[in-house]
Structure 1
Amino acid sequence: MENTSEIPRYFLLKDSLKILDVRRTFKFFSNTIEHRSLIFPSNGTFRISDMSRNDSGNYSLQTFDSKGTASNERTLRLLIHAPVSSVLLVSECLSQGEMRVSCSSEGGDSPQYSWTLDGRTLTDAELLSGNNESNIITLKQHVSGRLVCSVRNNVSNAFKEEKISTCDNFLLICGLRAVAVILLLTGISIYFAWKKKRTEKDEASALSQTTEYPENSVLMVERRNSTSCTNT
């Protein structure tokens, strides 16, 4: 509205909720979000501050003539988007030397992702899975350089850079760990085999001594005494 001073009545709805109701004839005014809004009747401006996602919706302005008949209605679709921020990159080496990298950001509505390596777009020869619009990608072996993930939406953009190197050292560490596990298992097997053999040898030695020296054996005999009674 250019000027509200000549309009008998008008109100503003957000979806189905009436947030503003002005009646010039009866000098009635109602504003459900008065604590964070202002209206300027001279030029028809309605201002809302401290907006959030909850303020998104359809705003409808309805005007009425002096008889209370609706004279005009207009609707505005309002979308509130939170900006993207604090982009985080997390990388991990996989078993075959590949590298998985994930990109995320705090907040942000409808984020869109893009990747570059040393200032250029990633190619299919460098990607094992994912694409330049995915938030998680897997790089092939021997891919290294300055990796950048950019996140954007309709109201803001942000990026995170990380220097990545190949996962050859990771494969070496995995190989050494596997060798260590094999040696540990082999050592445990040898120990238990030796312990079993030692036990069998001790048992055989004890049996041999019992047979050779029978005088060392102990014979337990139970003796029962009989008691007689004589009557005189």
Structure 2
Amino acid sequence: MEAVIGLLLMILGVSHGVETYCDGRQNGAQCYGALGGTVVLQLMDNASEISRYTWSIKTTTKTDTRTTTTILIVIKNVIVSNTIANRSFFTPSNGTFRINNLSWTDGGEYELVIFDSDGKISEQRTLQLTIQAPVSSVLLVSECLSQGEMRVSCSSEGGDSPQYSWTLDGRTLTDAELLSGNTETNNITLKQKVSGRLVCSVRNQVSRISTCGFTFINCTLPNGMRMSKWVFAANNNLCIEPTTAPNTRTETVDHSLLICGVRAAVVVLALIGITVYFAWKKRKYKMVRRKMEHQENSVVMVEMRS
């Protein structure tokens, strides 16, 4: 049953983190993996025709001593050794190495060594794998200044080396719209009369996330009063309920729980189907067995009458 569950999870693609891909076929490739996630490394095009190759990681100890630990050994298309087989999978046919549940210790320099049929080294190349924590949430806070300018601060949580970008109505902000700051900093000040939908995005090498943003409202209320104000885009009701204070702080909505819930439901239904199937086969087997026993008893009765 555990094997069946594992197969279903692989088919459905259920994972517990971010998945990244890196082409490591060029020497010195720079690759990134998300902490707790999965990285797929393209080591070669097709490994099935290579006589022998090894894949190792080079680490530096506290005493600045360089050590090499061999992870993968393949001889004539047979995996002789894989020291992290419990959370990795190598596919010789397409030369990809998949590592799950990445930790900080997985970061480092990896070396692929290919041998020819005579046992001599025919090729050597390295790749650098860097592990980063993905961005988990983004907070956006605004402040209206005395002259009608708007100061906006964008901050992220849980991400390594965050990079910021700003858009207004889906396009990049221009210098003419900014009083201070630039589109790559987390704090900006907009000039007067700048309006539209303002969105902050935060990214690093393994993730990207955006806020819901602010929008500029310009309308006339039922009492004739004219309103012009920046409000939280998801609560754009200034012209309907002017007494409701707009939110100025938000977190991006994470749909991962919904996706995981749907996948879990599919897995449960599949397991129920498998259970019903095996129960039906077992019942059918018992019925056939009883029928055979009944036939044998009938034959015995005929023989006794004769």
Query: Normalised by the size of structure 2, how large is the TM-score?
Result: 0.41
Q: Distance in 1 between matches of 2:188 and 2:121?
A: 57
Opposite residue 2 of structure 1, the aligned amino acid is A
Aligned partner of 1:92 in structure 2 is 143
Match among 43, 55, 58 for residue 15 of structure 1: 58
Match among 40, 47, 50 for residue 2 of structure 1: 47
Native 8 Å contact 1:4 1:41 kept in 2: no
Native 8 Å contact 1:4 1:44 kept in 2: no
Native 8 Å contact 1:61 1:75 kept in 2: yes
Q: How much has 1:20 moved relative to structure 2?
A: 2.0
Match among 149, 157, 162 for residue 208 of structure 2: 157
5+ residue gaps in structure 2? 1-45, 60-67, 217-228, 231-306
Native 8 Å contact 2:72 2:83 kept in 1: no
Native 8 Å contact 1:116 1:148 kept in 2: yes
Secondary structure of the residue that 1:50 maps to in structure 2?
coil
Q: Give matches, 1:177-188, under 5 Å.
A: none
Q: Give matches, 1:48-67, under 5 Å.
A: 48-52=99-103, 54-64=105-115
Q: Distance in 2 between matches of 1:163 and 1:64?
A: 61
Q: Distance in 2 between matches of 1:23 and 1:157?
A: 36
Aligned partner of 1:117 in structure 2 is 168
Q: Distance in 2 between matches of 1:96 and 1:84?
A: 34
Q: Distance in 1 between matches of 2:179 and 2:96?
A: 54
Native 8 Å contact 1:4 1:42 kept in 2: no
Q: Which has the larger radius of gyration?
A: 1
Aligned partner of 1:134 in structure 2 is 185
Native 8 Å contact 1:91 1:101 kept in 2: yes
Match among 103, 111, 121 for residue 154 of structure 2: 103
Native 8 Å contact 1:151 1:157 kept in 2: yes
Q: How much has 1:51 moved relative to structure 2?
A: 3.0
Q: How much has 1:31 moved relative to structure 2?
A: 3.0
Aligned partner of 2:84 in structure 1 is 33
Deviations 1:51-73 (A, max 9, x none): 35543433211244677643432
Q: How much has 1:162 moved relative to structure 2?
A: 1.8
- In the alignment of these two chains, the number of paired residues is 163
Secondary structure of the residue that 1:15 maps to in structure 2?
strand
Deviations 1:120-154 (A, max 9, x none): 54444542210122210123456555322123445
